[in-house]
Each structure stands twice: as structure tokens, then as C-alpha cells.
Amino acid sequence: MGWAVRTAITAAIAALMTCAAHDARAANGAYAVDAADISEVGSCKVESWMSAATNTDFSAVANPSCVVDPFRPIELSLQTIRARSDGDWSTTIAPKAKTNFIPTGIGRWGLSAYGGGSFDAATGEALSAFAVIPATFRLSETMRINVNGGWLWDRTADRHYFTYGVGFDWKFTDTLQWTIEAYGQAGASEVASVVQPRLQTGVRYRPNEIFSVDVIYGRNISGENANWITIGTTIRFPVKGSEPEHRRTGHL
């Protein structure tokens, strides 16, 4: 194992342990910790995933997004979540806008920002508002560390939280990528698991530039103190005639 792999894994584990040591939340498909990158202007993608927990909670998510350039490149997405929690079903809509300020590169930090909110699709009630700063440090063409920090307003409980996340991505073959991440939210809550750290790890299979599938194990991923299995897919619609992403950027 080379020095870059050892350094990356050591840094990722150290960061995860640091976060896990504090009571403490933030996206990249079914993963919670976002990278600083956004796609090429004019491109679109549809991310979708299903998650099932050992306590019978369930969620199904569809998240279409496109990158437009009204005055600077902005990635606009509209996440729709159909979920069951404690036996009750709900449908939530969560629009989000993201832009990049500092492009990522090997050996340096990239920086972006996104914000949005969520509301109940049945009643129209606003449920939350959030803002997050994702930062990405690329160790090599195949490894990166993502760090997120932000703010969440839970309008239902009328509480404000500091959100955090740290994750490590490693593309260890031409078609396989491993991700591990910890995230959470710091603040007051009557339910202890809401402010306890959350963990996900999974493998992405991406046989081409268009399609990928994720298989993910998670723990406490929505603050309910249960184990989760998630299956996700991404279908990409690149700009016609453009180069594949890895050839344009030189990295994953």
C-alpha cells in the first residue's frame, strides 16, 4: 500500500474519530457529505435511492438536478422524499441551489456553498431551512476528503443546529469507489440519537460515464438509532459533445 493510500486512510479515520468524539450534521447521491464540485453547465442527472432500517423506517428518494448559468454556474435540484417513520408516512419536497467558488484540485482545497429548505408536500408547511459549506481536498486523482459545515433550522421544533460532516472517497479500481462518512447536528434535543453522530459506508459501481449504483450501510442516518441498508442509482445526462468528466478534470 502506497504512502498516499496510507495517508488518506489515516486522515479519514482521524477525522471520523474527531467528529464522533463530539455531540453533533449536512450531498452526493444517497451520501450525506457533499463534495465541493458541481457538474458542467448544461448537464443534468437523476439520483434516486431506497433506504430500509431495522426499526421498519423506510424512505424512497428522487433527486433530479441540472446546472445552469444565469450569472455563474449553479446546480439546482429538487429532492422528493417519501418516508415512513414510526409507522407514519410523509412526503417532503426539498429544493436546493449550489455553486462552486474555488475549483478542486490535487493538493489543494476546493470550496462551494449550497442552501435550500424543505416543506410538507401535503400541507405546504415549511419544515426546515439549511445552508452548508462543502470543502474538498484531493490527495490524488483517485482519493479525496470532503468536509462540510453548516446551519439547520428545524421549523417544526423551532430549533437551530450546527451541522457537520466529513467523508473519504477512494476510487480503487476503474469502476469501483469506496466511501465512508460521519455527519451529524449539534444542538438541543429531547431525543439523544438526534444529536448523536451518524455513519455511512458503501461502494459505488460505475461502469461508464452515464450510470452508477451504490450499496450503502448506515447507522442512525436520520437520528433514529437504527441500522440502514440503502440501494441507490444515478443516471447522468452530460452536455452533448463534451468530454467525459474524468478526462476534463483529471480526477474522480
The whole-angstrom separation of Cα 235 and Cα 233 is 7
| pLDDT band, very low/low/confident/very high, at 248 (cuts 50, 70, 90) | low
Q: What is the mean pLDDT of residues 59-80?
A: 97
pTM for this entry: 0.86
Percent with pLDDT over 70 in the chain: 87
Within 8 A by CB and 6+ apart from 149, the residues are: 132, 133, 162, 163, 164, 165
Residues 30, 31, 34, 35, Cα dihedral to 10° = -100
Name residue, grid cell 460505475.
206
How does pLDDT run across 17-62, given as a tens digit for each residue? 333 333 333 367 899 999 999 999 999 999 999 999 999 999 999 9
How does pLDDT run across 38-47, given as a tens digit for each residue? 999 999 999 9
Within the chain, strands assigned E span: 44-53, 58-68, 74-85, 88-102, 109-120, 126-138, 143-154, 159-171, 176-186, 198-205, 211-219, 227-237
**Which three-class secondary structure state does DSSP give residue 207?**
coil
